[in-house]
Amino acid sequence: MKVALIGPYSLEGNRVSGGPEAVVVQLAEGLRRQGDVEVHVLTQSGKAVEDTTQQRDGITLHVLRLRRLPRWTMIRINAHVLADAVKRIGADVVHAHSGSTYGEGALRSGAPAVITVHGIIQQEAQVFRRFGITRREDLSWRYEEWYERWCLRRAQDVIAISPYVRQVYRSTTSARLHLVENPVADAYFDLPASDESATILVAARIIRRKNILGLLLAFAQVHQEAPSIRLRLAGERHYEPDYAAQCQQFVVEHGLEDAVDFLGWLDETSMQAEYSRCAVAALVSWQETAPVAIAQAMAAGKGVVASDVGGVRYLLADGRAGLLVQPDDVAGQAAALRRLLFDAGLRQQLGEAARREAQARFRVDVVAARARAVYEEVIRLQRHG
């Protein structure tokens, strides 16, 4: 079987940016391991000066130059470029990792196609509107929402990474909806246990949707009671620089400079070291679909405090593998952090439950086998009816 994966892909080896990129990297590896699957990955890069093809650890990587055009035109032109590349490969099935440019590229290729929805644009746009956006920003979000709906209405098969995705799209697309959760790299399952009980890890970009400022408010309350506790924020600060500056200013104004670390974007080895040494992982976003950061924490056997939004409760088995809080409840977040930080028994109980869930659901080979089963069904139904 020749599979074309279309989506973001790390071009810097050990440096992976964001959940969808991590998923494509791990899924490609899982499919390669199956032995009889020829894996092609197609990605677009604004840094590429020409289209290139290279072999990387048994995977054929096609890096396509991102065509620089006015935004509305650029998105569609690059979709056509992707479609032409898939045609040249002659893939048996194409799997796109987004419902926009990558999704349209898959649909236009003529090959049996499936689209994975990683983030629900309509829900994410509501978060931005909640905090106020410019008219131009709002128009951009509306276009992205329309484009995703346009692609999904034309898709025959969609992979949902969470039951939450199936709930959202069940009434808006006639596509068959297949549940295949996100894979987590094997290294996260094999991390040495360290459990530094005074450390909270947040693996997230410093953006409004991730509600970093809200978590800082909760952390400030906990820190008053236990000054030895540290908060380590592993995520880039350049996407929303004004918001990142607000978070840093909060730390200064509340005298937390010695307790809060802004680590920036970490490579995989450094990120795994952070998961290994932390006691608690936290993510109190306003909106999430199925965040890889939580799945990684579960694989590492860590207690998790996460907001009960989107598909998070499905990740954490309705709270049996972590503590669920509300994104606007600072007191509740502080209380949950205290429970895990000050109760080693509870940390161990939830961490072990989280690891069991992750072993059964997020192992690379498990997810790759499920994806392959979907591909075989898609080929049969789309090609042969």
pLDDT above 60 for 219: yes
CATH architecture of 186-361: 3-Layer(aba) Sandwich (3.40)
Residues 317-364: pLDDT tens digits?
888 899 999 999 999 999 999 999 999 999 999 999 999 999 999 999
**Conformation bin of residue 54: beta by default, left when phi > 0, alpha when psi is -120 to 50:** beta
Residues 24-83: pLDDT tens digits?
999 999 999 998 999 999 999 878 888 999 999 899 999 998 876 555 555 678 888 999
What mean pLDDT is predicted for residues 200-210?
96
**Predicted pLDDT at 381:** 87
SS3 helix, strand, coil % of the chain, rounded to 5? 50, 20, 30
The token duo for 120 is 């629900």
Nearest-angstrom CA–CA distance, 327 and 333: 8
What's the pLDDT band for 13 if we cut at 50, 70, 90? low
Mean model confidence pLDDT for the chain: 91
Residues 74-127: pLDDT tens digits?
567 888 899 999 999 999 999 999 888 899 999 999 999 999 988 887 888 788
Question: What pairing do the DSSP bridges indicate for beta strands 176-179 and 260-262?
Answer: unpaired
**Predicted pLDDT at 71:** 52
Helix count (H) and strand count (E) of the chain? 15, 14
Q: Which residues contact 99 (CB under 8 A, 6 or more apart)?
A: 115, 117, 121, 147, 148, 151, 152, 155
Intervals of CATH 3.40.50.2000 along the chain: 2-183+363-384, 186-361
∠ CA 283-289-293 to the nearest 5 degrees?
40
Nearest-angstrom CA–CA distance, 94 and 98: 12
Nearest-angstrom CA–CA distance, 266 and 294: 16
If you count them, how many residues does the chain have? 385
Residue with tokens 């992976």: 16
**Predicted pLDDT at 73:** 53
Nearest-angstrom CA–CA distance, 330 and 67: 44
Q: According to the CATH classification, is domain 2-183+363-384 in 3.40.50.2000?
A: yes
pLDDT > 70: what percent of the chain? 95
**Predicted pLDDT at 277:** 92
CA 87 to chain CA centroid, nearest Å: 28
